[in-house]
Structure 1
Amino acid sequence: MSLASLRERLLAKLTPPSEWSAEAGPTRSDFDLNPDSRLTGRSLRPAAVLIPIIANPGGATVLMTRRSDSLASHTGQIAFPGGRLDPGETAVEAALREAFEEVALDPALVEVLGVCEPYETGTGFVVTPVVGWLRETPSTTPSPAEVAEVFEVPWDFVMDPINHRRDSYQLEGQPKRWFWAMPYRERYIWGATAGILKNLCARLYGDEKDRAAAAGEDAA
């Protein structure tokens, strides 16, 4: 198994970009672990994120960002480049545009392999994850207003279920809220970002007897 096998798996398991529809509703959400908190009847805002997978010689990695400390919301959180769709945009167009605006990632370097199922966030977005393939670590320049740091996480780490844990928090007077988390070194990957990665893991390796071993072989 090799990086080539990972690329082939992604192409086989993901939805082709041409089949994306702006009308598709979410099939996964922040409420999967909190069904009693699910909100109904609200209008969701369409958004997209780019999951850049880098085919490094030492093993595949995922490019991620840490949001700027000056932002009004989600300060300092780990995220993928992305944001809301502009009128008339597809998910792929929005993900590539946002990645360029946030970290100056050249869209020409990204081979879009497919999209994942839409994900509903607690903040009212329906997010389409767009998976991109890069042949080497790209040159990036974070936009200071949006991104504090760009870094890479090993593919076999985020695809290993042993690193997926359920954490929780509880605000005063409210029920406990659960979320997925994947702490990596000093960085705390959690919430929608972790949920999207966990869903991607299930989609790619859900039928494998040993998902961690399969992901590790793909990343080699």
Structure 2
Amino acid sequence: MDRDDFFKRRPGMIGERNYGQYAVLAILVETVKGPALLFEKRSEMLNRQPGEICFPGGRLEAGEKPVEGAIRETMEELLVKQEQIEIIGPGDIYISPYNMIIHPFIAKLQDYNYRFSHQEVSEVFTVPVRFFQENEPKKYMNQLIYEQPNDFPYESIPGGKNYPWSIGTYTINFYNYEEAVIWGMTAAIVESVVGLINTYQLLSDF
């Protein structure tokens, strides 16, 4: 490789190897209430985030492209075939303060019979896109505060233990629809996805 290759390279992200890579599908389905987004409620048997509401998806496997991982996980969780899934396009990437990078993709799902894997999912339900278009999420600002390990070398930094650490902030979104509470990362992705749906008129062929 030479300088020309370097000039053309896609920049990486410093510290990216410390982040888990995930992908989800924001699935659009047709319902009696019009176009809707499909959500899962995670099984109570899962160790991580049992009972949480989310999009189909999960952690990428080694060498897997984000869209491939999103499709694979959706097939496993919703018991559908790949030919039932139509990828419309990529959403905006979500970078979590908890060392997660989530790649959303907007998709359509054809002929879904609302079956799912009970090992991973306890329920699936839909929310009309119109609901999100007409209702902004409630937003709550959280703080991220540094907590240093006991062996942190305070003597090596200006001010030592009195160093003026910055305090990070991030917003947590909440949507309440009937009995469902959609919040956190999923709600942040919903807000972004609905913005893309509006901007690019992605419901024009429904």
What is the TM-score of this pair, normalised by structure 1? 0.67
**1:165 counterpart residue number:** 138
Asked if the contact 2:129/2:194 (under 8 Å) is kept, the reply is: no
**Which one has a bigger Cα radius of gyration?**
2
Matched, 1:153 2:146: no
User: Could you tell me how far 1:202 is from its partner in structure 2?
Assistant: 2.8
Q: Distance in 2 between matches of 1:169 and 1:120?
A: 15
Matched, 1:194 2:167: no
Cα contact 2:24–2:55 (8 A) shared by 1: yes
Matches within 5 A, 1:75-154: 75-136=50-111, 138-154=112-128
Larger relative contact order (CA 8 Å, sep ≥ 6) = 1
The code of the aligned residue for 1:200 comes to: V
Percent of matched pairs sharing the same residue:
28
Partner of 1:74: 49
Q: What residue ranges of structure 1 are gaps of 5+ in the alignment?
A: 1-21, 26-39, 208-213
Report the CA distance between 1:203 and its aligned residue.
3.1
Amino acid at match of 2:139: R
Distance 2:91 2:62 in 1: 21
Q: Give the length in aligned residue pairs.
A: 174
Once residues 169 and 185 of structure 1 are traced to their aligned partners in structure 2, the CA distance between those partners, rounded to angstroms, is: 26
In the alignment, what sits opposite 2:160? none
* Cα deviation, residue 164, structure 1: 1.2
SS of the residue corresponding to residue 34 of structure 2 reads: coil
- Measure, in 2, the Cα distance between the counterparts of 1:23 and 1:103: 35
Q: Deviations over 1:102-149 (max 9, x none)?
A: 12122211111101121112332111101111345x024322221110
State the TM-score, normalized to the length of structure 2. Answer: 0.71
Shift of 1:95: 0.8
Whose strand fraction is larger, Structure 1's or Structure 2's?
A: 2
The farther-off stretch of 185-194 and 105-114 is 105-114
